[in-house]
């Protein structure tokens, strides 16, 4: 084996992070476009322009989400089992909201009745709004701690409820997730569309960019001064296999800021989240959509990496029993499993990136009303 167990644990933490960022950057603008559909498209033609801006790519983008779920199952089986049990209702709502997207894209234009199409437009809105909101709420609750614990036989018990997830900090994190993806989607529409759709998207982007920066800053102060974080005080050798209850964990105010004190360079990440959000808004104001889209993506990346850096090495902290918290050191698969999957990722991830880049290159160019009218039977 080329890497020891500890290094593989770190590598897989990075791999899962890459998959989550890939999901947010690609399917994220799909969600943002879906949320804006009923508002930036005033006529049926304009709404078809909006839909066709993401129609050729959204299915490929969604595979990042599926891959991230599969990687979690393979690399962090305890996290997968605990999260999919504890967050069951929230995840079912997320999955059912996603159903609106494939059905909406395929069925919306089958019937010319305005009532039919308007209903599917709001279905696509729900499919764009609900998943980012739930994902944001989930990440917010990770920073608060999740109400689960392991007993002496390593059976997990979750004592929370769906409505308990909808606490003030969780909702703030959910709104941040929505705002940053609306900004990402709005900058994408500026690149892919023209005329009034692009102009309305530009105005949405400027508001969403400022809102993202404000919500992210407020969340940062809340984490630093209003939330008790988790800290490992003792655990077995990180290069060994051990169960969660073998370590000692304490909670302390401001503990989520430990990594920023340990590695000051990580302050670049929250600076990216705030700075590039504001820069994205300014570039939208200046009518530079491509640069605004890149800046929006960098802001999304900074926000996600900030959350990951704050949590590290925790993946799923427990608010009931700190020892039961799941970390990258104790919630992972065997060394052999991580090693085999590492080589698979090295082979297939570059292929996916090349293929995705090729698809975007082929589908480049603006979607216009003329394009829709010229392709009446092939466009969505």
Tell me the C-alpha distance between 285 and 23, whole Å.
27
> What is the CA 164 to chain-centroid distance, rounded?
21
pLDDT tens string, the chain, 380 residues long: the values are 578 999 999 999 999 999 999 999 999 999 999 999 999 999 988 999 999 999 888 888 888 888 888 888 889 999 988 888 778 899 899 999 999 988 988 888 888 889 999 999 999 999 999 999 999 999 999 999 999 998 888 888 888 888 889 999 999 999 999 999 999 999 999 999 988 999 999 999 999 999 999 999 999 999 999 899 999 999 999 999 898 999 999 999 999 999 999 999 999 999 999 999 999 999 999 999 999 999 999 999 999 999 999 999 999 999 999 999 999 999 999 999 999 999 988 888 888 888 888 888 887 888 888 877 777 766 67
CA distances from 84 to 81, 138, 205, 262 (A): 5, 12, 34, 32
For 295, the token pair is 């800046």
| H or E segment to which residue 149 belongs | strand 148-150
Strand-pairing partners, residue 149, are 157
- Of the candidates 64, 75, 204, 58, which has an alpha carbon nearest to the alpha carbon of residue 128? 58
- Global pTM reads 0.93
Q: In this structure, how many other beta carbons lie within 10 angstroms of the beta carbon of residue 229? A: 23
Tell me the C-alpha distance between 26 and 2, whole Å.
32
Burial 355-373 (b: 16+ CB within 10 A, else e): ebeeeeeeeeeebbbeebe
Q: What is the DSSP letter of 161?
A: -
Tell me the C-alpha distance between 206 and 199, whole Å.
11
For 99, the token pair is 């159903």
């Amino acid at each position: 084996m080329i890497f020891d167990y500890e290094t593989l644990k770190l590598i897989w933490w990075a791999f899962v992070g890459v998959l989550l960022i890939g999901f947010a950057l690609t399917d994220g603008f799909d969600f943002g476009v879906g949320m804006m559909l009923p508002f930036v498209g005033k006529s049926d033609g304009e709404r078809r322009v909006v839909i066709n801006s993401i129609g050729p790519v959204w299915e490929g983008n969604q595979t990042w989400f599926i891959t991230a779920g599969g990687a979690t199952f393979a690399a962090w089986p305890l996290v997968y089992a605990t999260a999919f049990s504890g967050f069951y209702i929230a995840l079912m709502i997320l999955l059912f909201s996603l159903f609106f997207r494939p059905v909406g894209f395929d069925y919306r234009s089958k019937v010319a009745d305005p009532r039919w199409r308007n209903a599917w437009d709001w279905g696509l809105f729900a499919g764009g709004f609900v998943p980012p909101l739930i994902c944001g709420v989930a990440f917010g609750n990770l920073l608060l701690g999740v109400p689960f614990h392991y007993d002496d036989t390593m059976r997990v018990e979750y004592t929370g409820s769906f409505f308990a997830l909808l606490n003030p900090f969780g909702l703030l994190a959910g709104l941040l997730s929505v705002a940053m993806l609306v900004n990402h989607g709005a900058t994408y529409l500026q690149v892919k569309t023209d005329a009034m759709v692009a102009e309305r998207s530009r105005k949405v982007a400027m508001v969403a960019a400022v809102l993202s920066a404000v919500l992210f800053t407020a969340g940062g102060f809340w984490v630093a001064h209003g939330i008790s974080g988790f800290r490992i005080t003792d655990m077995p050798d990180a290069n060994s296999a051990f169960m969660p209850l073998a370590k000692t964990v304490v909670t302390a105010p401001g503990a989520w800021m430990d990594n920023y004190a340990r590695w000051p360079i990580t302050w670049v990440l929250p600076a990216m989240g705030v700075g590039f959000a504001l820069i994205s808004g300014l570039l939208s104001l200046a009518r530079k959509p491509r640069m605004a889209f890149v800046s929006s993506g960098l802001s999304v990346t900074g926000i996600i990496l900030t959350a990951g850096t704050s949590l590290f090495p925790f993946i799923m902290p427990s608010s009931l029993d700190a020892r039961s918290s799941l970390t990258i050191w104790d919630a992972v698969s065997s060394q052999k499993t991580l090693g085999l999957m590492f080589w698979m990722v090295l082979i297939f991830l570059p292929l996916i990136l090349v293929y995705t880049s090729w698809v975007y290159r082929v589908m480049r160019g603006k979607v216009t009303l003329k394009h829709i009218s010229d392709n009446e039977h092939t466009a969505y």
